[in-house]
Amino acid sequence: MPRIAVVFLVDARGHVLLQHRDEHAPRAANQWGMVGGHVEDGEDYDEAMGREIREETGIEIAAEDLVLWQATEFEYSDGHHSDYRVYAGRVDLTDDDIVLGEGRAIVFVDPAETAALDKAESCAYFLPLFLTSDLYRSLDEGTRR
């Protein structure tokens, strides 16, 4: 079963970093998704998460600066299964700090605007759960002093 490591990064406004995938994406082309991707052979989830963030955004984030929020299997509507690790953390970054390495865009999105986005199935599942979680509330509260 494919192993997937993704992350929800929350900025000072409480916005969540999402990726607008391009037409070349093997799954969920032209849709919004989470930053991250496949765990390569020889990697653990933490290593893959760091590598994926670096490749897709140009930023460095250590696993110890994040919380493992979900560790679960996800089944797509076509029957494809993947084993997900979903990390989350608070960052002092803006869109200007992101170097687009993959997709059409990677930006911090206002949670109020996420319902209207055409989201990948996995993002459509995990994002609403995250935005209503105690973890998101604690990360968001940490941004508003």
Domain total of the chain: 1
How, if at all, do strands 81-90 and 3-10 pair?
A: parallel
Whole-model pTM: value is: 0.93
Query: What is the 8-class DSSP label of residue 76?
Result: -
Domain span at 72 = 3-141
Q: What is the pLDDT of residues 104-140, one digit of tens each?
A: 999 999 999 999 999 999 999 999 999 999 999 999 8
16 contacts 130 by C-beta, under 8 angstroms:
yes
**What's the confidence (pLDDT) of residue 87?**
97
Dist CA 87 CA 9 (whole Å): 8
**DSSP code per residue over 1-38:** --EEEEEEEE-TTS-EEEEE--TT-SSSTTSEE-EEEE
Assign residue 123 the CATH number of its domain.
3.90.79.10
Task: For 17-63, write each residue's pLDDT tens digit.
Answer: 999 997 876 677 689 999 999 999 999 999 999 999 999 999 999 87
